[in-house]
Amino acid sequence: MLPWKAVIARVLPKASETGSTERDSRIPSDIRLNLIRTVVSSISKPSTRSTTSSIMPPQLKAEVNVMPKVVQGDLQSLPPEARDFIESNAKLCQPESIHICDGSEEENKKILDIMVEQGMIKKLSKYENCWLALTDPRDVARIESKTVIITQEQRDTTPIPKTGTSQLGRWMSEEDFEKAFNTRFPGCMQGRTMYVIPFSMGPIGSPLSKIGIELTDSPYVVASMRIMTRMGTAALKALSNGEFVKCLHSVGCPLPLKEPLINNWPCNPELTLIAHLPDRREIISFGSGYGGNSLLGKKCFALRIASRIAKEEGWLAEHMLILGITNPEGEKKYFAAAFPSACGKTNLAMMNPSLPGWKIECVGDDIAWMKFDEQGNLRAINPENGFFGVAPGTSVKTNPNAIKTIFKNTIFTNVAETSDGGVYWEGIDEPLTPGVTVTSWKNKNWTPDNGEPCAHPNSRFCTPASQCPIMDPAWESPEGVPIEGIIFGGRRPAGVPLVYEAFNWQHGVFIGAAMRSEATAAAEHKGKIIMHDPFAMRPFFGYNFGKYVAHWLSMAHRPAAKLPRIFHVNWFRKNSQGKFLWPGYGENSRVLEWMFNRIEGKASAKPTAIGYIPADTALNLKGLEDVNLTELFDISKEFWEKEVEEIKQYFEVQVNADLPYEIEREMLALEMRIKQL
């Protein structure tokens, strides 16, 4: 037994010694894990001479620990809880030094220089302050199979499925997490700098915003978090002595390495683990440098941890874009919309409407935090400060405003590079200048005849939101913007109409819970399969999905709540020849116009078995040719009987005893309406 294990065995009594076998009688998990950290860090110090592989942390020697030197910032000036968080993890992870980030331009330049020196990024000479990172091919996406939530009971994290394993999150026991933590983190930052990143999710000072501190040994994370969050000194000032979410991240490659890195990208795929401890407001990530796994303010904090906080505090943390739409008369409304990754969410948030006189402005493209104010308005903020968008498919045609946003102050990851210092990807829709060649994300010469993509399907741009030419004037408003419509949608090649409206709030919540879509490249799933993706949150729920749905339903009981209308859209329906029935992109403004007018009480609709659809002439098709409304809005009894059966089976098996009775009632009502078609 290692020395630290022996000490842990002494300080943590067995259940038999406490006279009880009950779970709740043991030492609480937060005290338990902190005890372990203290024991490990106080008696052990990694050998600075040992040769370590990129897979296993170094063996520890039982020596007295010394705190690493602080090379930037003043540890003693921090609030006590923040200082304790940093010091305990520094002793555990054993970095060579500690750098407290201030978020300044000067600091950012130094971080970029460090990455260039390490070969992690290279400058793209064609653009202003743009950079390209190529990752280890084993570290390219979110890894749902290695993303877990730690709670005392499994049912706190996911419903207990009737059969098989839960598809609504992955639970890990406290005991298993302790073992996993202690095989990974002791000495994991040896030879590296621990960066301390104070950050605000949401505008600094907003009553809807939350503060976090991320500790990381990745300069890529520092540079990216500076774009994606309000990071640095201002966030520390906002923290004062308040609460913060604790985020610990390591690439899991202590120095020196035994094996060379691939693409100079440190990661540890064999031991990757992304863990959330909602009871302690803590996120612990190991082994991956990729965005969603390492930029812990993003999905980990802004959705998984925030959704749990939102349940406790009475608000909503959602995987939704926020946009403002203004009609020719100058009237404006805000919508929030949930789509799975790579389903056109960013394109919709930044749309150039084709309808004359209409204007769309972007508040956010990915995440919305929403809370009812005292007047009953549902107010939303975008907690992020940048866009972490999927590059393939982004072009002047599909998203002209994104193209205007991304060619300065941007970090590109896993896109192709042109010989003139530019970027390239599938669907960029720009011809190459004669003589210009392309190097793929795999660092190989590439031509269109290669038979494989030049950019990874989940390649990304990380760019400041403030650079978008259509950012809404109120996008950083502390009180948020008033949401009047909520849109759910997905990629459905068959059966689902272009747009329909829920009959009421409960029916709308059911529509969100029943969402299905083709799988995307943002996760590790491969192939074109239709997956259940309720609320586009399936990979991001921070607690039991049944309780999450009940929380949504409870909004209807808020005093004076002005409940938004709920809609469902499908831009991706195809005809029998496999061609899209709807042109999409800027033409989607025609669907938004109908929704806008429905909220105003001006647009006509007709009831169907699944909801209200536009009446025969209600959808403005002026200037559009070859649009087959009959096919676009066809509701096939055969298709929907199968759809109902799929949804029903999913709820019965996956949500089981935690399915709210209101959703059961909506399910039965839909089944009856379909039978009557």
Which DSSP string corresponds to 240-255?
A: TTS--EEEEEE-S-PS
Judged against a pLDDT cut of 60, whether residue 181 lies above it is answered with: yes
The span from the CA of 130 to the CA of 126, in Å, is 8
The span from the CA of 589 to the CA of 624, in Å, is 12
Give the three-state DSSP class for 425.
Answer: coil
Q: State the amino acid at position 41 in one-letter form.
A: S
Encoded tokens for 657: 């005893």
CA atoms within 13 A on the CB side of 639: 12
Return mean pLDDT, the chain: 91
45 contact partners, CB below 8 Å, separation of at least 6: 60, 61, 63, 64, 65, 66, 94
Judged against a pLDDT cut of 50, whether residue 14 lies above it is answered with: no
Encoded tokens for 8: 């842990």
- What is the CA angle 83-87-90, rounded to 5? 140
| pLDDT tier for residue 665 given thresholds of 50, 70 and 90 | very high
Q: Render pLDDT for 620-646 as a digit per residue (tens, 0 to 9).
A: 999 998 899 999 999 999 999 999 999
Peptide linkage before 583 cis (omega within 30 of 0): no
The span from the CA of 619 to the CA of 204, in Å, is 41
Structure letter (DSSP) for residue 257: B
| pLDDT tier for residue 669 given thresholds of 50, 70 and 90 | very high
Q: State the amino acid at position 116 in one-letter form.
A: V
Structure letter (DSSP) for residue 270: G
Cβ-contact 512, 535 below 8 angstroms: yes
Q: Which residue has the tokens 């968008």?
A: 389
Cβ-contact 365, 464 below 8 angstroms: no
Q: Which residues are catalytic?
A: 343
The span from the CA of 446 to the CA of 543, in Å, is 44
579 contact partners, CB below 8 Å, separation of at least 6: none
Q: Render pLDDT for 201-239 as a digit per residue (tens, 0 to 9).
A: 999 999 999 999 999 999 999 999 999 999 999 999 999
- What is the CA angle 338-248-193, rounded to 5? 125
Give the percent of the chain with pLDDT over 90.
Answer: 86
Beta partners for 471?
Answer: 362
The CA radius of gyration of the chain, in Å to the nearest whole number, is: 25
42 contact partners, CB below 8 Å, separation of at least 6: 64, 65, 91
Q: Render pLDDT for 245-267 as a digit per residue (tens, 0 to 9).
A: 999 999 999 999 989 999 999 99
Beta partners for 277?
Answer: 282
Task: Over range 472-482, report the average pLDDT.
Answer: 98
DSSP letters of 288-308?
Answer: --SHHHH-TIIIIIIIIIHHH
Outline where DSSP puts E strands in 490-537: 499-501, 516-518, 530-532
Count of CB atoms situated within 10 Å of the CB of 64: 8
Q: Render pLDDT for 577-613 as a digit per residue (tens, 0 to 9).
A: 999 999 999 999 999 999 999 999 999 999 999 999 9
Cβ-contact 93, 187 below 8 angstroms: yes
| pLDDT tier for residue 653 given thresholds of 50, 70 and 90 | very high
Encoded tokens for 250: 């390591």
Q: Which residue has the tokens 């809609």?
A: 567
Task: Over range 497-501, report the average pLDDT.
Answer: 98
CA atoms within 13 A on the CB side of 176: 13
Q: Render pLDDT for 503-548 as a digit per residue (tens, 0 to 9).
A: 999 999 999 999 999 875 555 555 578 999 999 999 999 999 999 9
Q: Render pLDDT for 52-74 as a digit per residue (tens, 0 to 9).
A: 333 344 444 434 468 999 999 99
Q: Which of residues 560 and 23 earns the better pLDDT score?
A: 560
The span from the CA of 90 to the CA of 95, in Å, is 6
Encoded tokens for 265: 């990208």
Helix (H) or strand (E) run with residue 545 in it? helix 545-554
Task: Over range 160-167, report the average pLDDT.
Answer: 96
Task: Over range 100-125, report the average pLDDT.
Answer: 98
The reported pLDDT for the residue numbered 529 is 87
Task: Over range 334-351, report the average pLDDT.
Answer: 90
* Global confidence as pTM: 0.90
Cβ-contact 58, 256 below 8 angstroms: no
The reported pLDDT for the residue numbered 110 is 98
Encoded tokens for 396: 């002047």
Judged against a pLDDT cut of 50, whether residue 25 lies above it is answered with: no
Q: State the amino acid at position 558 in one-letter form.
A: R
Cβ-contact 569, 522 below 8 angstroms: no
Give the percent of the chain with pLDDT over 70.
Answer: 89
Cβ-contact 42, 92 below 8 angstroms: no
The reported pLDDT for the residue numbered 258 is 84
The span from the CA of 421 to the CA of 124, in Å, is 5
Handedness of CA 366, 408, 229, 203 (dihedral sign): negative
Cβ-contact 400, 346 below 8 angstroms: no
